[in-house]
Amino acid sequence: HSLPIWALTLLSLTACAPDAWRADGNYDAFLEQVRIKCSDARLGRITIRQLMPNANTTDAYFMDVTSEFYHRKISKENYVNALEASYSARSDSPGIRCILDLIPKI
C-alpha cells in the first residue's frame, strides 16, 4: 500500500525543527505572503516557489531555516549566509530580498 502524498510530506518533515511545522497563525500568514509575493523570485538557480510546500515536494531545509529566522532563533546574517551557502545565491538575490522585506519588524 502506498501512502498519500500529504502523509509522505508529513513524514519527511519530522526531521525539521519542531516549530517549522507547528500551528502558528502569524507564521502561517507570513509563509502565505512569501508564497504570494516571492513565488517567482530567484534564490540562486531556483525560485521560492520550488522551495515552498506543494503536492509534489517541499524543501525541508528552507522551511526549517526560514522558521528559525522568523522566530528569531537565528540572526538575519546567519539566515542570509545559510541561503547563500545552500542555494548558491547572492546575498542581494531577489528571493532573499523579498523574504527579508516581509519579515515583521520588532
Tell me: the pLDDT tens digits for 44-79? Answer: 999 999 999 886 778 999 999 999 999 999 999 999
Q: In Å, what is the CA distance from 31 to each residue of 2, 85, 106?
A: 29, 22, 18
Give one DSSP letter per residue of 12-47, joined into a string: HGGGS-GGGSS--HHHHHHHHHHHHHHTT-EETTEE
pLDDT (0 to 100) of residue 53? 85
Q: Model pTM?
A: 0.75
